[in-house]
Amino acid sequence: MESVLCALEARSRKERQELEALRAAGGTALRERAGSFMLDVGPEAGLLLNTLVRVADARTVVEIGGSVGYSTVWLAEAVRATGGRLYSIEVDRRKQDEQRAQLTAAGLDAHVELTTSEAPELVPSLSAPVDLVLLDHWKELYVRDFDACWPALRRGGVVVADNMLMPQKNAEVIAGYRRHISGLPDAQSHLIAVGAGLEVTTKREKLPRT
Ligand SMILES: C[S@@+](CC[C@H](N)C(=O)[O-])C[C@H]1O[C@@H](n2cnc3c(N)ncnc32)[C@H](O)[C@@H]1O
């Protein structure tokens, strides 16, 4: 696992310069080239995700936006420890092929199911309640896919959403996502300044309205 993460982190460091230039260019430049970038959560967020799976004793974990497998490796190592299973959605088949290869190289492929089925299709088909979800795909799909996961999430379960603080170009759509969550009576949420900013939302008993 260590060598796979180190190689992906080296690749990510190189990517970041090119990404800066594309972000500065604005428009659709980045989206058009997205298929060639990892766009990973980074090591601090990866470690936090791994820790959250372990402390929540999460057995059914859903990742939405697996890319080439960086966050997948962090999550998969944790579900191996809990005896759970990770369902990772990546809609780009070329990225998914690479994701599979990274998991195999890390010796973690037996703990992960890779799929291109999107969350509204996949999540209702799962037989167990979901313990933890990572949202890290296109930001305008966060509300749709949060809503696809929330009914299947167990009480005490967690949804983690990346890119709350960066990049700035997503600020409006991210604000909409946070507003959506703040309106839920059974959600407790914290913005954590780790990596590009993580919203960590826990499902709890509904509170009486005051
Ligand atoms: C920010 S990257 C994910 C990075 C990854 N979590 C990591 O840390 O290595 C976003 C990914 O979401 C994928 N994606 C886009 N729409 C999706 C959808 N509806 N469901 C799942 N993945 C999607 C993109 O192909 C892209 O690879």
Indicate whether 129 belongs to any domain.
yes
Indicate whether 28 belongs to any domain.
yes
Query: Strand 60-64 vs strand 130-135: parallel, antiparallel, or unpaired?
Result: parallel
**Peptide bond before 167: cis, by omega within 30 degrees of 0?**
yes
Tell me, using a 6 A CB cutoff, whether residue 67 lines ligand 1. Answer: yes
Q: How many domains does the chain have?
A: 1
Q: Which residue has the tokens 């839920």?
A: 184
Find out whether 114 and 85 touch, Cβ atoms under 8 Å. no
Q: What is the pLDDT of residues 35-69, one digit of tens each?
A: 889 999 999 999 999 999 999 999 999 999 999 99
Q: What are the residues whose beta carbons fall under 8 Å from the beta carbon of 95, sequence distance 6 or more? A: 35, 66, 67, 68
Give the residue among 83, 5, 14 at the shortest CA–CA distance from 44: 5
Share of residues in the chain with pLDDT > 70 (%) = 98
Tell me, using a 6 A CB cutoff, whether residue 135 lines ligand 1. Answer: no
Indicate whether 208 belongs to any domain.
no
Rounded average pLDDT over 1-7 = 96
Indicate whether 96 belongs to any domain.
yes
Shortest-distance atom of ligand 1 to CA 8: 9
CA atoms of 106 and 64, how far apart (whole Å): 20
Find out whether 56 and 130 touch, Cβ atoms under 8 Å. no
Q: What is the DSSP string of 38-52?
A: -----HHHHHHHHHH
State the pLDDT confidence band at 175, using cuts at 50, 70 and 90.
very high
Residue numbers of the domain that contains 134: 2-203
Find out whether 41 and 65 touch, Cβ atoms under 8 Å. no
Indicate whether 154 belongs to any domain.
yes
Q: What is the pLDDT of residues 103-136, one digit of tens each?
A: 999 999 999 999 999 999 999 999 999 999 999 9
Tell me, using a 6 A CB cutoff, whether residue 166 lines ligand 1. Answer: no
Longest dimension (CA), the chain: 53
Q: What is the pLDDT of residues 6-37, one digit of tens each?
A: 999 999 999 988 888 887 887 787 778 878 89
CATH at residue 40: 3.40.50.150
CA atoms of 184 and 20, how far apart (whole Å): 35
Indicate whether 209 belongs to any domain.
no
Indicate whether 210 belongs to any domain.
no
Q: In whole numbers, what is the pLDDT of the chain averaged over residues?
A: 95
Tell me, using a 6 A CB cutoff, whether residue 87 lines ligand 1. Answer: no
